[in-house]
A = this chain, B = another copy of it.
Amino acid sequence: MSTTTDAPRRPARPLPWTPGEVEHRLRAIAAERYHHRHPFNLRMHDGLLTREELRCWVLNRFHYQRHIPIKDALILAKLDDRDLRRSWIRRIHDHDGRDGDDGEQGDAGGIERWLRLGEAAGLDRMPLLSGEGVLPGVRFAVEGYVNFCRLATPLEAIASSLTELFAPDLMVTRIGAWERHYPWIEPEGLRYFQVRVQQGRRDADEALALVHRWAETRADQERVLAAFTYKCDVLWSLLDAVEHATTTGSADAG
């Protein structure tokens, strides 16, 4: 309990990274772990999936899609600042849709667009809405992500959304690949991906600015990278489950 000035010093804390260094590290993690590299995604974009395999993915990924407004409501509940909530709430409307005001056209929302993607790929709404064919590995990954957003700090919850930095490029690749390789899917079904290109960029910019503002110490920044890694693993794990089901023949997408 020495209080003299020559008490042994604590080891120096590492200085925080610059915003550019944080981004560099996010990109390095994404290059290795973001699901654009997953074998199932590579097969999808190379046109190698059967109709049943693609439908299996559409159905299982819908389980993730329908939980986006839930996780965003949990993040919203963590935000003390009204102006920040006023901005973040847009993400819930983007997926749930918004009613039209005064005769203006509303927005059906991303969940509805995904249901139409399913229809364009030959899947009825009912199996998607019932959630019956969802694989256990997909359920666990999605549940893990929702609980992460429920229990983590606001900084970590927001950092976990930074996969949006890489989603728009993936959407652009996907749109091209699907048009080329899966012409049996009605083009109108690709609307979900098209809308997400712009929404994803805007969401990523917003989340990255918050992360730069809030992560003041190296320890904070390391928590950001850990949250981002966790989220990459959620998306990867979802595809692992789908890939395993399709290659072992246990996929049943109705």
Contact = CB atoms under 8 A, between A and B. Distances in A.
A170 B237 CA distance: 53
A99 B76 CA distance: 17
A77 B82 contact: no
Given A73-B76, A92-B76, A96-B89, A82 B101 contact: no
A73 B69 contact: no
Interface residues of A, number: 24
Interface string A57-94: 00000000010011101101100001001100100110
Given A73-B77, A77-B77, A111 B92 contact: no
B99 A101 contact: no
Nearest to A77: B73
A89 B92 contact: yes
B96 A85 contact: yes
Interface in A125-141: none
Taken together, the copies of this chain in the complex come to 2
Interface string A145-168: 000001000000000000000000
Given A73-B74, A77-B73, A89 B89 contact: yes
Contact of A111 (B69, B82, B98, B99): B82
Nearest to A149: B77
Contacts of A74: 73-74, 77
Contacts of A66: 82
A122 interface: no
A70 to B, nearest CB: 5
Contact of A92 (B71, B85, B101): B85
A16 interface: no
A74 B149 CA distance: 12
A82 B76 CA distance: 17
Contacts of A69: 76, 82, 85
Please provide the 9 A-B residue pairs with the shortest distance between their CB atoms, ordered closest to farther. A73-B77, A73-B76, A74-B77, A73-B73, A82-B96, A70-B77, A85-B96, A86-B96, A82-B111
Interface of A: 66, 69-71, 73-74, 76-77, 82, 85-86, 89, 92-93, 96-99, 101-102, 104, 109, 111, 150
